[in-house]
Amino acid sequence: MRRLLHTPFAALALFAAAVFSQTAPDALLHSGLTEPENHTITVERLMLYHDSGEYEREIREVANAARDYLESRFKNVRKDEKLAAVFDIDETSLSNWAAMQDCGFCSYNIQVKYPIDHDPAITPVLELFDYAKERGIAVFFVTGRPETQRQLTVDNLHEVGYSGWTDLYMQPVPPTGTVKPPAHVFKPQNRQAITDKGYRIVLNIGDQASDLSGCCAERVFKLPNPFYLLD
């Protein structure tokens, strides 16, 4: 709550609540009004989820389950087998936590205010990525980031320790006047393209349900992300 109490928004909200409670408590009590949870409380709840270590613990749990799956299922990958693992990038391989917490989980124009070029790795996922490579599994990134961010993204991935991926699927910038299709449409298409190259996708990991639905992974692993939602 410390951070929030210093914001003009929170101060105004508290002032308004105090005035309201002094002038019209009965009116509120008998109005039958039920409000959605206050934004300030929601933000604080998400901060606590992260700062308590619970977010990281849950990420580690999912990554460990994915590793256990690879270890037990693919002890000996044959040379002629083209196995693949697919990794999402944001809130899977790289973390945007600094930007999210700074703006109170705003989901609008976040990449305008906060450049994406120095995102830290999500360590349990980096370890899973390296483990898949050690097993002889080809690793792919499939991301909703646009092609215009390719060089920034590649540099960022290298900077924090990712290397040796087979390919990075990004999204073309849509023609003027059109919008980019949603992730649940283009991500399966990207995975289909990987499959069409002769790979069998044994693992797909991401933080959104839209990272995981549709074509064509043998197992999917969902990381937690209560901070934003992408369809």
- For Mg ion, the binding residues (CB under 5 A) are 88, 90-92, 207
- Give me the least distance between CB of 134 and Mg ion, in Å please: 24
State the Cα–Cα distance between residues 215 and 155, nearest whole angstrom.
29
Q: Where are the beta strands (DSSP E) in the chain?
A: 83-87, 138-146, 167-171, 200-206, 220-222
- Give me the least distance between CB of 228 and Mg ion, in Å please: 9
Nearer to Mg ion, 40 or 144 (CB): 144
State the Cα–Cα distance between residues 228 and 208, nearest whole angstrom.
9
- Give me the least distance between CB of 151 and Mg ion, in Å please: 20
Nearer to Mg ion, 13 or 99 (CB): 99
Q: Which residue of the chain is nearest Mg ion when measured via CB? A: 90
State the Cα–Cα distance between residues 215 and 213, nearest whole angstrom.
7
State the Cα–Cα distance between residues 185 and 226, nearest whole angstrom.
22
Nearer to Mg ion, 104 or 206 (CB): 206
- Give me the least distance between CB of 226 and Mg ion, in Å please: 13
Alpha-carbon torsion angle 50, 51, 53, 59, nearest 10: 20
Nearer to Mg ion, 88 or 119 (CB): 88
- Give me the least distance between CB of 96 and Mg ion, in Å please: 9
Nearer to Mg ion, 71 or 147 (CB): 147
Phi then psi dihedrals of residue 27, to 5 deg = -60, -45
